[in-house]
Amino acid sequence: MREGRPTSGEAEAVAAAPLPGTVRVLMYHSISPAPAERGFRRYRVSPALLDEHLSALAGAGLRAVSLTDLLEQARLGRDVSRLVALTFDDAFADFTDHALPLLGHHRAQATLYVPTAHVGRDAGWLGARHGRLPLMDWPELRAASASGVEIGSHGHWHRELDVLPAREVLAEVQLSRALLEDELGTAPQSLAYPFGYATPVVRGVVHQAGFASACAVGYTTTPVPGLDPFAVQRLLVAPGTTPEQLADLLTGRQGVEATLRRWTRPAWRTARRVRHRLTGSSHVRAA
């Protein structure tokens, strides 16, 4: 969270200045012009809006890179103030149709996180509530990889890793990693925790399985000093996020945390916590 945020009057006079020493990662899910079911709306951004977001990033002097590239630059002590990592969770089939052409057009790089058990099928972990949401198949993932998209793991079954025994977490992430390596010819470097949930044990197991980084959902950015590559926070971009808001947020003209909490009300997180406390289990469906 940034302090000393200027008032709106002052903000007009402040030139866009990048946040120094901060790793900024955006998180998208589905990119489609089709209307989404009510519970899924916050996870779908239209291609027209993604196009505007990518233009706004370039207009603000920011370069879109993969998660691994961004962390590597930070690890080397380079200036990351003009970089932003783009990530897409779940490998929905609309990535091929809508996101990939826009990334190419804007020369933007990105990381795509794949729940390997569902490749070529649909988002079974969401249940029937949101209708059938098809996922990319292996040839589509190979094509995305060949075009420069970093492919990472999103677990195998998209299970909540924080409530599993460590040996099951290890089995999930090892299997996903092995499948991605077999199918794509390269071992994935990065993982996104399904639903964003992780504990110190989960983070340690993911490290042990050979990954170099992992992402959560923190509604904030991550300072470079002391950066834990297995606790990288991401900003969930919502369908109501205007290009101006996005550019202002990433260039330090808005308070990060307050803005993101306004955009994205994580009601399902609260519901999960309450349910978990009441029943000892959790089955809230989310992306």
Count of chain residues binding Zn ion (CB under 5 A): 3
Would you say 149 or 224 has its CB closer to Zn ion?
149
**Rounded least distance, CB 225 to Zn ion, Å:** 29
The Cα 273–Cα 287 span in angstroms is: 16
Residue 195 C-beta: closest distance to Zn ion, Å:
7
Q: Which is nearer to Zn ion, 108 or 135 (CB)?
A: 135
Residue whose pair of structure tokens reads 């239209």 in the numeric block: 46
Burial of 23 (0-12, 13-18, 19+ CB in 10 A): buried
Q: By C-beta, is 215 or 247 nearer to Zn ion?
A: 215
| Residues from 268 through 287 that contact Zn ion (CB under 5 A) | 287
**Closest distance to Zn ion from the beta carbon of 146 (Å):** 23
Grouping H, G, I as helix, E, B as strand and the rest as coil, residue 27 is strand
Q: Where would I find the H helices in 106-193?
A: 138-146, 166-184
Q: Which of 52, 89, 94, 172 binds Zn ion (CB under 5 A)?
A: 89
Q: Of the candidates 130, 196, 208, 224, which has an alpha carbon nearest to the alpha carbon of residue 167?
A: 208
* Closer by beta carbon to Zn ion, 62 or else 135: 135
Q: Which of 28, 71, 90, 198 is in the footprint of Zn ion by CB under 5 A? A: 90
Shortest CA distance to 44 belongs to which of 25, 27, 57, 28? 28
Under the binding rule (CB under 5 A), the answer on residue 160 touching Zn ion is no
Least distance CB 273 / Zn ion (angstroms): 18
Contact window for Zn ion (CB under 5 A) among 83-91, 97-105, 217-225, 243-251: 83-91
Which residue number, 90 or 140, has a Cβ lying nearer to Zn ion?
A: 90
Minimal distance, residue 4 CB to Zn ion, in Å: 35
90 versus 160: smaller Cβ distance to Zn ion: 90
Give the amino acid at 179. Answer: L
Q: How far is the CB of 105 from Zn ion (least distance, A)?
A: 26
CA angle 25-27-31, nearest 5°? Answer: 140
Strands (E), the chain: 22-23, 25-28, 30-31, 44-45, 63-65, 83-89, 111-114, 150-153, 190-192, 213-215, 222-223, 235-236
Q: Contact residues for Zn ion (CB under 5 A)?
A: 89-90, 287
